[in-house]
Chain A
């Protein structure tokens, strides 16, 4: 997680050198981000927005990303909207969003069509099963990386909140809303007391 507090105490970050991008540039950038990102798009959006196009500084990106993680829903989708709006108002938000979602949507509906026709082919099923097993492993590994900072909490309350969420949703298969209605306030209360 980006440390927004220490970022705020630093001197103001250098302004990005590139001029304000036009709507078409925004669309192209987010379409490229989308098409290069396999298994998640975060790393690619950072590379494009901060390193290649220089539309944001690293600090601005971290701050925007912290916001988008805090907001519910798909993180990178939120990022495209927040960034597009900051740069070009509501049209910018819409264009960035369509750039991000449009290309994979076209690809995935083509695949869905193929799957609807040939989904029962045994070879395809075996392949998808292997990929699903790997994708679960990818999530598990990423999750372990994300969880590391939680264990800095000596009392172990934050890992406990993560564990409670895992057990109630993953193992007990409780409905999401009921479980979160209990767990989210509890976890925020813990964070508030330990702050």
Chain B
């Protein structure tokens, strides 16, 4: 956990590149984040990554904020800042300039095909993220049950996720998931 320039540069490089491949949002990149943070760079243990994911989910705001937590773990406050800027910067620049082109080609067949083609990819990526986190959290039958019940409740109702998180947190605290 050194706060040297090398670590910051590494963080910036990983997240700037990852930001351009996060098809369908920040949660799509969760498996890649885990692969890099736990397996490639060894910044944290698998359990710490699962903790960080949980913290990011219960923090209000966009899910992309998980990168600030990863950055903090690597290089403190500066790491959090660098990771966040790296993850948001490239897409924002793209958003500024692609926005106009998008308006102009609103009905172009290639635009429609790109949009239709990216949808299954982003769904597959989010499913992969869910699977990666679910298997990391699945220490026993109860944890798996929490995942499955939440999935069904989310699919069938419009319950505010905050209630689900509160219930699951309390169940965990009571020792159900361990």
Contacts and interface: CB of A to CB of B under 8 A. Distances in A.
Contact of A175 (B32, B120, B133, B149): B32
B7 interface: no
A147 B119 CA distance: 9
A72 B35 contact: no
B99 A176 contact: no
Contacts of B77: 109
Q: What is the predominant secondary structure among interface residues of chain A facing chain B?
A: helix
B125 A35 contact: no
Contact of B123 (A116, A162, A173): A162
> Is the interface on chain B under 10, 10 to 19, 20 to 34, or 35 or more residues?
35 or more
Contacts of B167: 134
A191 B59 contact: no
Given A37-B60, A130-B168, A191 B146 contact: no
Contacts of B127: 139-140, 143, 147, 162, 165-166, 170
B54 A72 contact: no
B18 A41 contact: no
Nearest to B67: A74
Nearest to A45: B62
Interface of B: 17-27, 29, 31-32, 35, 47-48, 50-65, 68-69, 72-73, 77, 80-81, 84, 87-88, 90-92, 94-96, 98-99, 102, 106-107, 109-110, 112-134, 136-139, 143-144, 146-155, 160-162, 164-165, 167-173, 175-178
Interface of A: 1, 4-5, 8, 34-41, 63, 66-78, 81-82, 85-86, 90, 93, 97, 100-101, 103-105, 107-109, 111-113, 115-116, 119, 123, 125-147, 150, 158-159, 161-166, 169-171, 173, 175-177, 180, 183-184, 187-192, 194-195
